[in-house]
Amino acid sequence: MLQKHYSYWIIALVFITSIAGTSFAHTDKAPWQFVEYGPRPTPDDVAFFDKDGDKRYLEEYEGKTVLLVFWASWCSSCTQEMPGLDALQKDFRKLPFTIIAISEDYQGIKAIADFYQNTDIKYLDIFHDYKNNLFKEFKVVGMPTSFVITPDGRNVGMFKGSVNWHDEKVRDILLSHMPGNPEEPKNSYKDSSLNQVINKPEPGNDK
């Protein structure tokens, strides 16, 4: 029993080491890039899992533009962009669009649920890539990586690196792949007032 438990952790460590080394660093010079290519078929027969452990397939989402995001809670660049993805799903919720954020966490659903709760993620559903089958099928070489899938199920491009999902340029790319040429919804992003100096009037000068 001890040997079996030890073997599990060795496998998990090997997997993390293999993809953590290729995680994209978040830099000021080039935090992300969008690579567009000719339409590629998506693997409709490879299952991933929802929060209840039920199998899901990409073909279920045909008719919508899908942003397929590969991430993990131990990937710092991934976790930086998750609140922005949550806001994007909120802003685009009335459009023919959905985000499938698939975790590669070896700890499974619980690790994802804990992260969502601790970071107040409200609009993204929980998905897990058991045995990393979809990760391998898309030939992902680093995280975070996000693929744009058209309503007819074609993979047409990918965002590499940690993306600012409030960026108008990023949102325009997504909108350009939606049917009907929809207008951009209101951007819920607000500049934080934290750490800003509040100029209070001096005593006697409050007129």
| Residues 144, 25 contacting (CB under 8 angstroms) | no
- Lookup result for tokens 């680093």: 142
Query: Distance between CA 79 and CA 4 in Å, rounded?
Result: 31
Cβ atoms of 26 and 138 within 8 Å: the answer is no
**Contact by Cβ (8 Å): 55, 126:** no
What pLDDT is recorded for position 49?
Answer: 96
> Could you tell me the CATH number of the domain that includes residue 64?
3.40.30.10
Residue 113 lies in a domain: yes
Contact 50, 101 (CB under 8 A): no
How much is the pLDDT for 197?
A: 33
Residue 38 lies inside a defined structural domain of this protein? no
**Tokens representing 186?**
């209101």
**Quick check: is 67 in a domain?**
yes
Q: For residue 6, is it within any domain?
A: no
Question: What separation in angstroms does the CA of 189 have from each of 40, 58, 132, 137, 168?
Answer: 33, 29, 33, 34, 11
- Reading the chain (207 residues) residue by residue, the pLDDT tens digits are 544 444 443 334 334 434 443 444 333 344 789 999 999 999 989 999 999 999 999 999 999 999 999 999 999 999 999 999 999 999 999 999 999 999 999 888 999 999 999 999 999 999 999 889 999 999 999 999 999 999 999 999 999 888 999 999 999 999 999 988 898 898 987 543 222 333 434 445 544
For 118, the domain range is 48-156
117 domain residue, yes or no: yes
Look at residue 98 and tell me if it is in a domain. yes
Q: Which two tokens stand for residue 195?
A: 């750490």
**How many structural domains comprise the chain?**
1
Residue 188: inside a domain: no
Which of 74, 96, 87, 62 minimizes the C-alpha distance to 20? 74
Per-residue pLDDT at 190: 55
**Would 178 be classed as within a structural domain?**
no
